[in-house]
Amino acid sequence: MTLSLFNEPSAQEIAPGVWWLRAFALPTLTSLQDGVNEVLAAAPWRQMQTPGGQTMAVSMSNCGPLGWVSDRAGYRYQTHDPLTGRPWPPMPQTLANLACLAAEQSGYVQFKPDACLINRYLPGTRLSLHQDRDEQDFSQPIVSVSLGLPAVFLLGGMARSDKTFRLPLSHGDVLVWGGPARLRFHGVMPVAEGDHPALGRMRINLTFRKAA
DNA sequence: CAGTTCCA
DNA sequence: GAGT
């Protein structure tokens, strides 16, 4: 018999191409955390600069063959960590498996992420509305895993000025968007103060992409 | 170009 | 809502 990673048949399509899997990762959270800590030991948190020279509020790291970076030269994926000069640490199997399963539950078969961006939100931290458009193949979805403190996710439309929907994301929630939703604007409201049993005063988000 | 920003 |  197969042990299921899912608590419930919880995948819900909340908009065309957007799937919200609530508490999806709960049974595997400790192994996810182990994987994240392993990555952070090799590629520590850092705050990147926007091309305009602003310091981003979110602290970031990456794992997998490619990592997302931003600096004065622009946004891009690269094989090496600019902080250490080394390749990004490998993507722990538990992370890759979870992303693949979440994508499959959402109807996106054979999702093989080559990049996992790890974002840390301390209380007060936000992420402005943006599109994920630095990947080469927009036919592949985005898989986003929420850990720790809850946050309000903003799901916008294809234009920055479009009305946004607010989704309350909790520890273990996974959001998958692709197809007609692949280029929708999205962001995160400032994270409220709190103390999560597993992660303390922080929210961690794992974003899996097929970048190349 | 760039705003994953800041400010009116 | 901005800028080239």
Per residue in A46-64, pLDDT (tens digit) is: 999 999 999 999 999 999 9
Instruction: Look at residue A68 and tell me whether its pLDDT is greater than 80.
Output: yes
Whole-model pTM? 0.95
pLDDT digits (tens, 9 = 90+) for A140-197: 999 999 999 999 999 999 999 999 999 999 999 999 999 999 999 999 999 999 999 9
- pLDDT value of residue A1: 47
User: Checking DSSP bridges between strand A11-15 and strand A18-21, what pairing results, if any?
Assistant: antiparallel
Is A64:A206 a contact under the CB 8 Å cutoff? no
A160 CB and strand C closer than 7 A:
yes
In angstroms, the CA of A23 and the C1' of B3 are apart by 33
A163 CB and strand C closer than 7 A:
no
Is A175:A102 a contact under the CB 8 Å cutoff? no
Give the model's confidence band at A38: pLDDT under 50 very low, under 70 low, under 90 confident, else very high.
Answer: very high
* Alpha-carbon torsion (A109, A65, A31, A173), positive or negative: negative
A161 CB and strand C closer than 7 A:
yes
CA distance A200 to A21: 23
Which residues lie near nucleic chain B, judged by CB under 7 A? A 50-58, 68, 70, 74-75, 126-134, 160, 187
Q: Decide: residue A9, CB within 10 A, 0-12 exposed, 13-18 middle, 19+ buried.
A: exposed
In angstroms, the CA of A16 and the C1' of C2 are apart by 31
- pLDDT value of residue A88: 98
In angstroms, the CA of A81 and the C1' of B8 are apart by 38
* Alpha-carbon torsion (A45, A194, A99, A97), positive or negative: positive
Say yes or no: domain A11-209 is CATH 2.60.120.590.
Answer: yes
CA distance A17 to A171: 22
**Average of pLDDT values for A11-36?**
93
DSSP secondary structure of A136-171: S-TTS-EEEEEEES-EEEEE--SSTTS--EEEEE-T
For residues A5 and A100, the model is more confident at A100
In angstroms, the CA of A4 and the C1' of B1 are apart by 48
**Main-chain phi, psi angles of A173, to 5 degrees:** -75, 145
Q: Which positions in strand B are less than 7 Å from the protein's CB atoms?
A: 1-6
Give the start-to-end residue ranges of the domains of chain A: 11-209
Is A176:A121 a contact under the CB 8 Å cutoff? no
CA–C1' nearest nucleotide, residue A161: C1
In angstroms, the CA of A164 and the C1' of B8 are apart by 21
In angstroms, the CA of A208 and the C1' of C4 are apart by 33
- pLDDT value of residue A10: 77
Outline where chain A has alpha helix (H).
29-42, 93-105
In angstroms, the CA of A28 and the C1' of B1 are apart by 43
Q: What is the mean pLDDT of chain A?
A: 94
A130 CB and strand C closer than 7 A:
no
